[in-house]
């Protein structure tokens, strides 16, 4: 069913799994790609068909926003959507506030689109999103000529006076953020001339790939060790093109981690997106000794996809370099849970960006582990986890702080803890992984909501 709900709180007590996890499942569509598919289709001329769309609350907010901006957005079957756009520059002024719910990606990418159309709009979000930094996009976007007024600290609600003839930007990212890169590139779509973004560390490139798919001219060149320069030619004729959304590797992470930890398990997740700028967790898990097997590799909708099978076995601690962080930025909470169970110490370096996610994920992940008897420290921007080499003590209450990934990480921890783990609220899981608890139960997790 297509609905946007203000979620009522859903507490959960997780008991250790009593049998191995087993089976083959598919996870919902990639969140990053789903947002972009709806937005870019609304900017393109003609009718785009999208299959495998994530129908989580975050993406439904984007669908509603694109409708409010004049695109015809229709759900024709589960995961299958049709978007009819009238072409770049034709968006209409929304007649009410755009509520982006919990979604930073929706808010930040949309800022680039709204700034580059000659109209007035206001964006808001839930308690989590209203606390997140927006200056990282409004600062560079102001150079287009657009004007922004926000609450103190650059926080939502945000009023935007967009410009019909935005100046093209040339911008070097001060933080490794695909959302900021995308906001600048999207503003460049409606600008005459060339938009240029330098990223010192490569971040997920779904915007670049999908803009090309819709007919834009985007070139990417290497910059130093591991960076990139992206150039976009403004005012392309964006034409509707169908999009097949792969399974979200960031969602598959929870299922695969549970399978690695619950003794005797073997679980396959089919059709997982394997864009190399998203697979840092899988590299790291293999370095920890994980038996993670890839099969059926293929390219679908321009993105590499494959089936991943996780087989439980002993794991050891790992030292994750800071340069890897952008390719696994959403995966640190679940990696911390895996590291707590592995033998020996782990160190995850360069996690400053975790402080500005759906929650302050650095402090929230530390609290999640400490409440459950795991030794964990933060030194500068690094997290240090002391692995127990087996079941963690558990028995704690985890505060999920409106953060879906903390709720899922806490659930996985509970499956391998000596004492039951209480999760204060699992409702936010619906933002990215509707059906998570049912899916986990289908492989034998035995969760009772
Ligand atoms: C995303 C980029 C990342 C990631 C988020 C999705 C995107 O955020 O954490 O879940 O779709 O571009 P940052 O750009 O803040 O790193």
Distance 20 CA to ligand 1 centre (A): 33
The verdict on whether residue 135 carries a ligand-binding annotation is no
What is the position in ligand 1's atom list of the atom closest to the CA of 175? 16
Please indicate whether residue 275, judged by its CB atom, sits closer than 6 Å to ligand 1: no
Under the phi-then-psi rule, with left for phi > 0, alpha for psi from -120 to 50, and beta for the rest, what region is 183?
alpha
Instruction: Quote the crossing angle between the two packed helices 404-415 and 249-261, to the nearest 10°.
Output: 20
Residue ranges of the alpha helices (H) in 26-101? Answer: 31-43, 57-68
Strands 382-388 and 375-379: antiparallel
Q: Is the CB of 432 under 6 A from ligand 1?
A: no
The three-state secondary structure class of 88 is coil
Fold annotation for 31-244? UDP-n-acetylglucosamine1-carboxyvinyl-transferase; Chain (3.65.10)
Ligand 1 neighbourhood includes 105 CB (under 6 angstroms): yes
Of the candidates 32, 54, 42, 22, the residue with the CA atom closest to the CA atom of residue 430? 54
Report whether 181 belongs to an annotated binding site. Answer: no
Which runs of E-coded beta strand occur in 202-280? 218-223, 227-233, 243-244, 266-273
- For ligand 1, the distance from its centroid to the CA atom of residue 375, given in whole angstroms, is 28
Q: Are 13 and 372 in contact (CB under 8 A)?
A: no
Q: How far is the CA of 264 from the centre of ligand 1 (A)?
A: 34
Alpha carbon of 328 to ligand 1 centroid (Å): 10
Q: Strand pairing of 155-161 and 147-151?
A: antiparallel
- How crowded is residue 209: how many other Cβ atoms within 10 Å of its Cβ? 17
What is the per-residue pLDDT for 315? 98
Atom number of ligand 1 nearest to Cα 330: 9
> In angstroms, rounded to a whole number, what is the distance separating the alpha carbons of residues 255 and 310?
9
Which residues, listed in sequence order, are joined to residue 417 by a DSSP beta bridge? 392
Which residue of 62, 105, 281 sits with most ligand 1 atoms within 8 Å of its CB, as the best mutation to test the pocket? 105
pLDDT at 6: 57
Query: What letters, b where the CB count within 10 A reaches 16 and e where it falls short, cover 38-72?
Result: bbbbbbbbeebbbbbbbbbbbbbbbbbbbbbbebe
Contact 136, 353 (CB under 8 A): no
pLDDT score recorded for residue 7: 62
276, 299 Cβ separation under 8 angstroms: no
Ligand 1 lined by 32 (C-beta under 6 Å)? yes
Residue nearest to atom 9 of ligand 1 (CA): 330
The number of beta carbons lying within 10 Å of the beta carbon of residue 298 is 12
Nearest residue by C-alpha to atom 11 in ligand 1: 32
Q: Which CATH class is domain 12-29+247-442?
A: alpha beta
Q: Compute the distance from residue 82 Cα to the ligand 1 centre, in Å.
A: 25
Determine if ligand 1 sits within 6 Å of the CB of residue 182.
yes
Residue 287's nearest CA partner among 251, 320, 334, 329 is 320
Measured between alpha carbons, how far is 293 from 277 in angstroms, rounded to an integer? 19
Residue 422, φ and ψ in degrees, nearest 5: -95, 130
Ligand 1 atom with the smallest distance to the CA of 326 is 16
Token pair listed for 121: 């709009």
Q: How far apart are CA 405 and CA 107, in angstroms?
A: 19
179: CA distance to ligand 1 center in Å?
5
286 is in an annotated binding site: no
> With a 6 A CB cut-off, is 204 part of the ligand 1 pocket?
yes
446 labeled binding residue: no
Domain boundary assignment for the chain? 12-29+247-442, 31-244
> Cβ(103) to ligand 1 under 6 A?
no
9 is in an annotated binding site: no
d(CA 375, CA 371): 10
> Does residue 315 contact residue 260 with C-beta atoms inside 8 Å?
yes
Q: For the chain, what is the largest distance between any 2 Cα atoms, rounded to a whole number of angstroms?
A: 62
52 CA from centroid of ligand 1 (Å): 20
DSSP string, 335-404: HHHHHHHSEEEEEE---GGGGGSSS-HHHHHHHHHHTTT-EEEEETTEEEEEEESS-EEE-PEEP-TT-H
Per-residue pLDDT reduced to its tens digit, 275-299: 999 999 999 999 999 999 999 999 9
Distance CA 137, CA 19 (A): 47
pLDDT in tens, the chain (449 residues): 355 555 689 999 999 999 999 999 999 999 999 999 999 999 999 999 999 999 999 999 999 999 999 999 999 999 999 999 998 999 999 999 999 999 999 999 999 999 999 999 999 999 999 999 999 999 999 999 999 999 998 999 999 999 999 999 999 999 999 999 999 999 999 999 999 999 999 999 999 999 999 999 999 999 999 999 999 999 999 999 999 999 999 999 999 999 999 999 999 999 999 999 999 999 999 999 999 999 999 998 789 999 999 999 999 999 999 999 999 999 999 999 999 999 999 999 999 999 999 999 999 999 999 999 999 999 999 999 999 999 999 999 999 999 999 999 999 999 999 999 999 999 999 999 999 999 999 999 999 98
Pocket test for ligand 1, best of 61, 100, 104 (most atoms within 8 A of CB): 104
pLDDT digits (tens, 9 = 90+) for 190-243: 999 999 999 999 999 999 999 999 999 999 999 999 999 999 999 999 999 999
Q: Parallel, antiparallel, or unpaired for β 218-223 and 194-199?
A: unpaired
DSSP code of 239?
A: B
Those residues whose C-beta lies under 8 Å from the C-beta of residue 275, and which sit 6 or more positions away, are 204, 205, 206, 249, 303, 304
* Atom number of ligand 1 nearest to Cα 177: 14
Catalytic residues: 330
- Output the pTM of the full model: 0.97
Q: What pLDDT is attached to residue 314?
A: 98
Whether 12-29+247-442 and 31-244 share one fold: the answer is yes
d(CA 233, CA 168): 9
Count of alpha carbons within 13 angstroms of residue 43, beta-carbon side: 31
Is 293 annotated as a binding-site member? Answer: no
DSSP 315-348: -B--EE-GGGGGGGTT-HHHHHHHHHHSEEEEEE
Is residue 31 part of an annotated ligand binding site? Answer: yes
Return the closest-CA partner of residue 403 out of 129, 27, 88.
129
Helix 206-213 to helix 178-189 angle (10° resolution) is 30
Q: Which atom of ligand 1 is nearest to the CA of 204?
A: 12
């Amino acid at each position: 069913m297509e609905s946007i709900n203000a979620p009522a709180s859903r507490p959960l007590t997780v008991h250790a799994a009593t049998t191995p996890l087993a089976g083959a499942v598919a996870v919902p569509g990639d969140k990053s790609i789903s947002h972009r598919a709806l937005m870019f289709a609304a900017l393109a001329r003609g009718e785009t068909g999208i299959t495998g769309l994530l129908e989580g609350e975050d993406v439904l907010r984007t669908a509603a926003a694109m409708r409010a901006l004049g695109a015809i957005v229709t759900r024709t079957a589960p995961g299958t959507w049709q978007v009819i756009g009238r072409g770049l520059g034709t968006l209409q002024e929304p007649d009410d506030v755009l509520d982006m719910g919990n979604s930073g990606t929706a808010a930040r990418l949309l800022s680039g689109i709204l700034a580059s159309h000659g109209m007035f709009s206001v964006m808001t979000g839930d308690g989590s999103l209203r606390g997140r930094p927006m200056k990282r996009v409004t600062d560079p976007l102001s150079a287009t000529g657009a004007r922004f007024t926000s609450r103190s600290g650059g926080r939502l609600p945000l009023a935007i006076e967009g410009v019909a003839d935005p100046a093209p930007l040339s911008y070097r990212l001060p933080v490794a953020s695909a959302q900021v890169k995308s906001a600048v590139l999207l503003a460049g779509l409606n600008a005459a001339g060339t938009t240029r973004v330098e990223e010192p560390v490569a971040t997920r490139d779904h915007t670049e790939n999908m803009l090309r798919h819709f007919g834009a001219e985007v070139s990417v060149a290497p910059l130093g060790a591991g960076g990139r320069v992206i150039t976009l030619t403004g005012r392309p004729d964006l034409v509707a093109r169908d999009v097949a959304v792969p399974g979200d590797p960031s969602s598959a992470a929870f299922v695969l981690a549970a399978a690695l930890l619950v003794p005797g398990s073997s679980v396959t997740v089919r059709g997982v997106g394997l864009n190399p700028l998203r697979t840092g967790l899988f590299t790291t898990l293999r370095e920890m000794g994980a038996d993670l097997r890839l099969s059926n590799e293929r390219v679908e909708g321009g993105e590499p996809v494959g089936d991943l099978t996780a087989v439980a076995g002993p794991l050891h601690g790992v030292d994750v370099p800071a340069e890897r962080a952008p390719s696994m930025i959403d995966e640190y909470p679940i990696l911390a849970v895996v590291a707590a169970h592995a033998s020996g110490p782990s160190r995850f370096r360069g996690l400053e960006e975790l402080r500005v996610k759906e929650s302050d994920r650095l402090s929230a992940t530390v609290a999640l582990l400490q409440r459950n008897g795991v030794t964990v420290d933060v030194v500068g921007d690094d997290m240090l986890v002391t692995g127990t080499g087996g079941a963690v003590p558990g028995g704690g209450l985890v505060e999920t702080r409106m953060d879906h990934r903390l709720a899922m990480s806490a659930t996985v921890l509970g499956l391998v803890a000596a004492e039951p783990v209480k999760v204060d609220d699992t409702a936010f899981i619906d933002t990215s992984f509707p059906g998570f608890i049912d899916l986990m139960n289908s492989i034998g997790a035995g969760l009772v909501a």
